[in-house]
Amino acid sequence: MQNRQLAEEVIGFLEEQRLEPLPVNYALGYLFLTGEDEEVARAVSAIVDGRVRISQSEVEAIMAAQGFGRADGGRTEAIANAVRRQALRLVDLTAETARATGEFGRDIAANLDQLDAVAEGRIALRDVAAAMIERTAIAEKQLADATAEAIQLRADLEEARLEAMADHLTGLPNRRGINAEIERLVVAKARWSAAIIDIDDFKLINDRWGHGVGDRVLKAVASTLAEACAPHFTGRWGGEEFVVLFEGLDVAAATAIVDKARETVGDRRMRLRETDQPLGRITFSAGVAEAAPPDAPVEEGDTLERADERLYAAKEAGKDRVLAA
């Protein structure tokens, strides 16, 4: 769906539902119309499919269930505000471009009348040509300016979309970004494997050293995983869990990479910045599974579910290990 069309449809959806132009409403309209969040789409459809308008309280309940307004809510709302402004500006640009084109057409018609006057000897051809050149230049500049702004707005919208799929702490793709990548792999009918990784005893780190230190550990593990598993897709699933998607690799090859990453993380010696006191060895457990072939009757979620089962088995077996399905 093109950005301008999507912007107009989101605005139309809010008007149809008689919802105020609030960030949370724009976010819900976007997620519902694009289908990027299946839970939001199902919840909204259950209400509006019966031609019942969705209420503001229902919007807020649905979005709250998806985390809108919590944790990085200020940042999320800022993104939603930016998208709203850009969407409205795209609609304005359409009107401006149409107006400029119409004025240019009227100018051409007027100058054709003047050409008749030239033929009759009433005005000089030089004056008509100069007027047409000037008006053409003005119209071209208006259209060029509108096009340049539309291109910039498209880039801004893409940046906002990518930012909405990024984890604010680690900079890795978040759960939405991970799901989008899985969807891409499924649509492409690619061979792929997935690993779910969980930092061992992370709660003890938070309890002993505080959440500030815990955040630094998360960022350190995230960067190590992303580097060790490159060029494959690494994202933060949530909390102390990460997901790595290995396109083109079977489960054995993916497991080998994750196990090497586990050794790299364990070899790092992290210390408190303030006192240089060692934090102890940081380890993780992981489960790895290969996606079923594209023609197999298996749902997308089954790959992560099987990887998650192996993760729990790794925890029960003593942690600090990688098990494959």
DSSP secondary structure string, 292-323? Answer: PPTTSS--THHHHHHHHHHHHHHHHTTSS-EE
Residue type, 4: R
Distance CA 225, CA 197 (A): 10
Does the active-site annotation cover 20?
no
Q: Which of 222, 181, 232, 185 is nearest to 202 (CA)?
A: 222
The set of residues, in sequence order, having a beta carbon less than 8 Å from that of 298 and lying 6+ positions away, is: 292
Burial of 165 (0-12, 13-18, 19+ CB in 10 A): middle
Handedness of CA 57, 84, 64, 180 (dihedral sign): positive
In DSSP terms, which residues pair with 271 in a beta bridge? 278
Distance CA 269, CA 284 (A): 14
Retrieve residue 108's tokens: 């051409």
Distance CA 168, CA 148 (A): 30
**Annotated catalytic residue, options 58, 181, 240, 290:** 240
- Note if the bond before 21 is cis, omega within 30 degrees: no
Burial of 206 (0-12, 13-18, 19+ CB in 10 A): middle
Handedness of CA 119, 124, 126, 129 (dihedral sign): negative
Q: Torsions phi, psi of 211, nearest 5?
A: -70, -30
Q: How many helices (H) and strands (E) does the chain have?
A: 11, 5
Residues noted as catalytic: 240
